[in-house]
Chains A and B, each alone.
Chain A
């Protein structure tokens, strides 16, 4: 490690140490979503891939974490779409049912999403965002978070692969040069 980097680290380190007592213990689980937004997204993912007899769904798989992670990386450009879409969704929900989306019963949420899918929602909240397209995007992202590699934040404990009975990690030996040498 070169001297410059060492000095920079030391100074910052000492400085931070001095400030540490001021850091309140505040776990911020999400990088982009606020707590309220996250609740809405969790409910959305629960609708898109619900837990059922075959096994757990998107909530267990922590798909909201996938979406949150990608929104500060590859999906940076979708940040405003998500913010606006979630707000529009909540407002539409409030208007139709008098409650926020994640407060509704499961079946009511399903009915509402079918309305969103067919653009059958109060237009005044959806300025500049197409409800069906927004929902399609959330569906796509949920599927990616559920069926993709856990390295991207979702698919906790390979739940989707286990549900699909996919042999994962793949069990395949290599071409050996010694065969069963008796060890």
Chain B
């Protein structure tokens, strides 16, 4: 029984996939949106810290599960290790409709114009594939605005002198500073910096028929109990379904993109919710499965015409895997600085994103989300007791007297940090799994040293009696901000897709997630992923004439 042909398939109902599906469906293009997970269910984990998406001790609330989705880690010395999603080195992305947008911290940053022009701004970097994006900020500005208004962002960047220009203000007022945020902002201002409220994909006031945020302590890594956290699962995907042109197929694992003899994509081969192999044909295929899974899917889509994977003539599919090395500093105070009100992160500053002396790029700095009890028990200043009475005393006494400022450093893309597929290790459905190899560029650790030192200065100025840095920036990147593995570019020899996310080789194959990123910016990526979703969707809608692209 063949499935009915549709105009478009979108693989992955995440930040990018959800937006593209809606843009197409709203313009009469029939879409099937495949998702390997299910619809997120709050009641399963509620606010269980041990099954939080970020503290996945006993499992993660929104998957992926540990039984069916192995990956392989390739060490420098040629060792091979099979990993499952119970450790950070797996680099998991939530497996549910909405993906990370269900449980994220929801920071909603626009990248700065320099983030799209890293090579022009800083020149080439030895040992890195640092390059400009084929699009500039101005081309994406209207898409950022669409994301902010359609999905819903609270913010105010009038106190950010480094803010990229905007046509329309944010749709919702910013969140207020917490007690800790107020203290640290004042310190930052005394140092001549420019703190301002973090834009959030959360309702600060009722919006879109859903209530305002209740300042829950258990926010990041959890689903919102009142649906005030905006993601694609409660905005654009239901809107897509309401048009009547979009069907969401959950618990479907897509194995490969199928191609015909003419070198065009003809659809996908997938396994449905009962593990039966099926085929779905479509005129257009859009992959938005997250950087690692998108690369894996492209590499697994091999045929006579595409022996190295579809759209991989350049050999750049899976290359330049980036993420964000989080770096920063913590401090201890002799009075309570944290109060009861969640979720915590309230201000950011962009003073160190660009034009730092001796540094290429840089990154944002923000105060952190509040620690939860178990997470806090695992975090101590260097030299502190790890168990026993002293540990317990610290837990009870210092829980409200600790403060942290952290930020994502913009990584230098490394060609050798890559995704391949393993020929022998297969997942539950017999599909070759992703193999992660390589490591960050050596400059990343240096840049982290710079940014964490700036963070420490602020905390010290705020009055901490003891401060320490968490530098990071080594090892292989990826994690939840993974990007770069199907980079966009004008030159087919050094990119996978063009400036519209369209494959250089296969004109009806698109990518619409963070794999498109050339460089990762020094910001949380999700709003940019959503903007690119509008950008790619807009191109398809304008140029698809019903049977082919103009």
Contact = CB atoms under 8 A, between A and B. Distances in A.
Are chains A and B touching in the complex at the 8 Å CB cutoff?
yes
Contacts of B47: 149
Contact of A57 (B48, B216, B392): B392
A49 B396 CA distance: 12
A170 B373 CA distance: 14
Contact of A174 (B217, B226, B386, B391): B226
Contacts of A170: 216-218
Nearest to B217: A170
A148 B374 contact: yes
B214 A174 contact: yes
Contacts of A96: none
Interface in A157-183: 160-161, 163-167, 170, 172, 174-175
A163 B376 CA distance: 14
Contact of A175 (B211, B218, B391, B395): B211
A70 B216 contact: no
A98 B174 CA distance: 65
Given A143-B378, A148-B49, A174-B226, A47 B388 contact: yes
Contacts of A70: 58
Contact of B389 (A52, A139, A174): A52
Given A49-B392, A52-B389, A110-B388, A172 B216 contact: yes
Contact of A147 (B211, B217, B377, B386): B377
Contacts, number: 84
A74 interface: yes
Contact of B48 (A143, A149, A161): A149
A140 B373 CA distance: 13
Nearest to A173: B214
A54 interface: yes
B212 A149 contact: no
Contacts of A165: 396
A48 interface: yes
Interface in A76-119: 110, 113
Interface in B34-71: 47-50, 57-59
B63 to A, nearest CB: 14
Contacts of B393: 52, 54
Most buried by A among B48, B49, B206, B389: B389
B212 to A, nearest CB: 7
B388 A149 contact: no
A70 B373 CA distance: 19
Interface in B339-362: 340
A152 interface: yes
A151 interface: yes
A151 B216 contact: no
Contacts of A139: 386-387
Contacts of B214: 172, 174-175
Interface in B189-247: 206, 211-212, 214-218, 226
Contacts of A47: 387-388
A142 B388 CA distance: 11
Contacts of A172: 214-216
Contacts of B48: 148-149, 151-152
B50 A148 contact: yes
A146 B373 CA distance: 9
Contacts of B391: 48-49
Interface string B364-380: 00000000011011100
Given A49-B387, A52-B393, A166-B399, 11 more contacts: A47-B388, A48-B388, A146-B377, A147-B374, A148-B57, A148-B374, A152-B48, A152-B50, A163-B392, A167-B340, A175-B206
13 contacts: A47-B388, A48-B387, A49-B387, A50-B392, A52-B393, A143-B378, A144-B57, A148-B50, A164-B395, A166-B399, A167-B340, A170-B217, A175-B212
